[in-house]
Structure 1
Amino acid sequence: GRPAAISTCPGSVTTSWKRTDYRAMDGHDPKCATFRALPNTKHRLDEIQTDYDGEYSTTMRYVHRWREANRGMPDREGYVRLEWAAGSMQVDFGVARARIAGEMADVHCLVASLPYSNMRLCVALPGENAECLCHGLMLVFEHIGGVPPVIVMDNATGAGRRNAKGEVALTGVFSAFVAHYRLEVRFCNPYSGNEKGSVENAVGFLRRNLMVPPMRAESYGQLSRFMLERCDGLAASSYCPRLPGVPVAEVFDEERAALMPLPSTAFDPVRWESRTADKYGLVDIDSNRYLAGPDSARSKVLAAIRWDTVTLTSPATGELLAEYPRQYGRSRNVEDPALVLPRLAVKPRAWRESSIRPDVPDDIRAWLDSMDEKTLRESLKAIGDACRAAGFDPAMQACGEILRSNRDMGLHADSLTPIALRMRDGEWEYPGGIEEPDLSGYDRFITGTDDGGEER
């Protein structure tokens, strides 16, 4: 019962099946996993039936014809037109390119659409996790001056995970967010764009109208402000599909009445996790490692993870150990030089191979490289004390000032720390930058002469 040939699309040449009839192959039919594995169909066929030597293009044409002939029957029944109530919001993520602080980056754009008025809003975020989602929604709520009573999204946005039964389990951060803002959240199928077609269209619309050419900003916060301003401009110049000739901005002004008021207390989208530092004092968070300090090696560390920062504290004492910008990506080590320098003072021979050596300015690094072990130990200790008191950057500025004034004096805590503190507070003025007082009046009073030297 195996056919010798199969006809392809009209006008094409009939191609022979040399050995294998796909429809009879081990009881499989074109809707099985074999045919859904495109573009690896040919390799899957080879795994199931080793004597197959048909052409890949023939396979593709047959699968295309089968799908066209057997496209889902429910689709042929059409769709139900949806009418969204005022205040309902749809949320989804899109990705676009932008220049952040001089570097091109893939920006995750959180897009919110209110179908009743067709108001479309967008903010920029570095990721799509629960912390970023909550922060982005907070920016949108504050911009529109209210909270939508209903939000529709899919479970691919970091809000939760759908289990095998189809139930969505909310993440801890987003669950607290929903309770804080008194929201009703509905989840739809992430592969069914028709269930939230308004925001699906808004993602493409805003990408074309906002992000081309790529926008520039110094931070994600600034980029979000630029985006929201442009969204307001688009709302004023575009028209509501339900009311031709009426700007979206006017319809949205009426829709604001359906929004709930903002809570009086701000929400903090933070995830708390307990971690054990390794022997170097590094803590692994989302596949990146943050330095809690050598003194925290093999100890428990409490991490507060927000969309833009990671804060490490001691669970026993509550002491702040370190705070870093949150990294997005994988396998990065993030270290605060101020935490490494005290350990280097104990082990000065590790200075030349230390991970923070490139962070030290060239002139200071060259001076430290030229010192003997005793002077290096004392200098590193002094720098470490200044870092703990004032921070790394003010300490480096103070080191540079001292070495420019008198390289032979060296670096000592009793002089370095006070200068670093004054530089941190903006109270230090560099030599040459201080205006000398005008003493000409005293000269005239004492000598009785004018500026030209003549007696008065």
Structure 2
Amino acid sequence: MFLAAYPRETQEMVFDAHIRAFTCFGGAPKRMIYDNLKTVVDVIFAGKEHQFNRRFLTLANHYMFEPVACTPESGWEKGQVENQVGNVREWLFTPTPRFESFAELNAWLALRCEELAGRRHPEQTGRTIADCFIEEKPLLIPVKAVFDGYVEKTLRISSTCLIKVDHNRSAYLPNGRIVSFHCG
């Protein structure tokens, strides 16, 4: 199991979550199912047809996995995932823990995931979740290189020595200068 918390659901953060998960697992699965998040799916057509985001397809092609989007209003397609989200909320967030930063929260989540891997598998009761993963790990697609999905923007520093990125202002010196900013 892999969990990571982010302040928002930007495309760069979704990419980072994939990279960290594949690093944690030691590879990428052959197929991944998505619930039509805007950072992944641009257009939903009638039926099962979807248009995936071009940058997201670049990530999928880099790691060689097949992205699959759920059909809208078809809860049975993602029932197992929804059930797991409820389980994770109960296991990890009852009572609600408090953290000073996302780094502290993510370190805690990594430790808790290791602990949960030692639990008994729900369908194969004589084995742990970690045992089942070890058996399935050779089926993962090896990661040969890390995907760089970040966007570099050229910004001008304002007369008040500020740059604006994602509706946030940051102070830089001197004013009027052009800077390169690594977004994500």
Q: TM-score, normalised by structure 2?
A: 0.81
Write the deviation string for residues 51-83 of structure 1: whole angstroms up to 9, x where unpaired.
Answer: xxxxxxxxxxxxxxxxxxxxxxxxxxxxxxxxx
Write the deviation string for residues 132-165 of structure 1: whole angstroms up to 9, x where unpaired.
Answer: 1111222222222221111111221622322566
Q: Which amino acid aligns with 2:8?
A: G
Give the Cα separation in 2 of the matches to 1:285 and 1:187: 30
State whether residues 280 and 294 of structure 1, in contact with CA within 8 Å, keep that contact through their aligned partners in structure 2.
no
1:247 equivalent in alignment to 2:125: no
The change in CA–CA distance for 1:301 and 1:207 in structure 2 (over 3 A counts) is same
Cross-structure match for 2:50:
167
State whether residues 19 and 146 of structure 2, in contact with CA within 8 Å, keep that contact through their aligned partners in structure 1.
no
Give the Cα separation in 2 of the matches to 1:180 and 1:199: 25
Cross-structure match for 1:124:
5
Q: How does 1:70-109 map to 2 (within 5 A)?
A: none
Give the Cα separation in 2 of the matches to 1:190 and 1:131: 24
The change in CA–CA distance for 1:176 and 1:240 in structure 2 (over 3 A counts) is same
Q: How does 1:390-401 map to 2 (within 5 A)?
A: none
State whether residues 240 and 246 of structure 1, in contact with CA within 8 Å, keep that contact through their aligned partners in structure 2.
no
Q: How does 1:44-443 map to 2 (within 5 A)?
A: 120-156=1-37, 158-162=39-43, 167-170=50-53, 172=55, 174-189=56-71, 191-241=73-123, 243-263=124-144, 265-296=145-176, 301-306=179-184
Write the deviation string for residues 316-365 of structure 1: whole angstroms up to 9, x where unpaired.
Answer: xxxxxxxxxxxxxxxxxxxxxxxxxxxxxxxxxxxxxxxxxxxxxxxxxx
Q: Which amino acid aligns with 2:129?
A: V
State whether residues 280 and 293 of structure 1, in contact with CA within 8 Å, keep that contact through their aligned partners in structure 2.
no
Write the deviation string for residues 269-316 of structure 1: whole angstroms up to 9, x where unpaired.
Answer: 3122344554434333222223343422xx65443202xxxxxxxxxx
State whether residues 133 and 157 of structure 1, in contact with CA within 8 Å, keep that contact through their aligned partners in structure 2.
no
SS of structure 1 residue aligned to 2:135: helix
Larger Rg: 1
Give the Cα separation in 1 of the matches to 2:147 and 2:5: 19
Give the Cα separation in 2 of the matches to 1:283 and 1:295: 9
SS of structure 2 residue aligned to 1:203: helix
Q: Unaligned regions of 5+ residues in structure 2, if any?
A: none
State whether residues 3 and 109 of structure 2, in contact with CA within 8 Å, keep that contact through their aligned partners in structure 1.
yes
How many residues end up aligned between the 2 structures? 182
Write the deviation string for residues 221-262 of structure 1: whole angstroms up to 9, x where unpaired.
Answer: 342232132223223223232x34433222221111211112
Q: Which amino acid aligns with 2:53?
A: L
Q: Unaligned regions of 5+ residues in structure 1, if any?
A: 1-119, 307-456
Q: Which amino acid aligns with 2:147?
A: F
The change in CA–CA distance for 1:258 and 1:198 in structure 2 (over 3 A counts) is same
CA RMSD in angstroms, aligned pairs only: 2.6
The change in CA–CA distance for 1:303 and 1:234 in structure 2 (over 3 A counts) is same
The change in CA–CA distance for 1:209 and 1:267 in structure 2 (over 3 A counts) is same
Q: Percent identity?
A: 29
The change in CA–CA distance for 1:164 and 1:288 in structure 2 (over 3 A counts) is farther
